[in-house]
Structure 1
């Protein structure tokens, strides 16, 4: 069972390929929802030894940045080895 933990937003690295999928209108809508209801679903990150790497939740991450938050609820997941 995954347990959410708060991690600093500034320690999260977003890969370039993932950044290309960002939609500002979606960020705005999610930010409005977070103001009204709080963060309902944690993002998913993996730790690469130095930083957290975003796996899932780009729009939630950007919405919380936009709202001025410094931490985010996250699930720490293990990277799959290929």
Structure 2
């Protein structure tokens, strides 16, 4: 079962490859939707021992930042074993 935790946005590391997929227009639309309807689905992060690493939800995270939020709800997931 996934556990929801509150994480400071400044404490989330976004890998460079993931950051390249950011679309500012999508962030703006999501921010508008969050204002009207709230955040529907928490982002996903994993803890690597010293920090949180974004797994899923870059646009939702950036929309929350754009709205001035400092904390976001996130599902804490385990790293995939290959």
**TM-score exceeds 0.5:** yes
After superposition, the C-alpha distances for 1:13-56 in whole angstroms (9 at most, x for unaligned) are 00000000000000000000111111110000000111100000
Task: Give the aligned partner of residue 70 of structure 2.
Answer: 70
Query: Which runs of 5 or more residues in structure 1 are unaligned?
Result: none
Kindly report the root-mean-square deviation, in angstroms, between the aligned alpha carbons of the 2 structures.
0.8
CA distance in 1, matches of 2:64, 2:3: 20
So what's the TM-score if we normalise by structure 1?
A: 0.96
Task: Give the aligned partner of residue 24 of structure 2.
Answer: 24
CA distance in 2, matches of 1:40, 1:60: 10
Task: Give the aligned partner of residue 53 of structure 1.
Answer: 53
Task: Give the aligned partner of residue 10 of structure 1.
Answer: 10
Count matched residues: 82
So what's the TM-score if we normalise by structure 2?
A: 0.96
Query: Which runs of 5 or more residues in structure 2 are unaligned?
Result: none
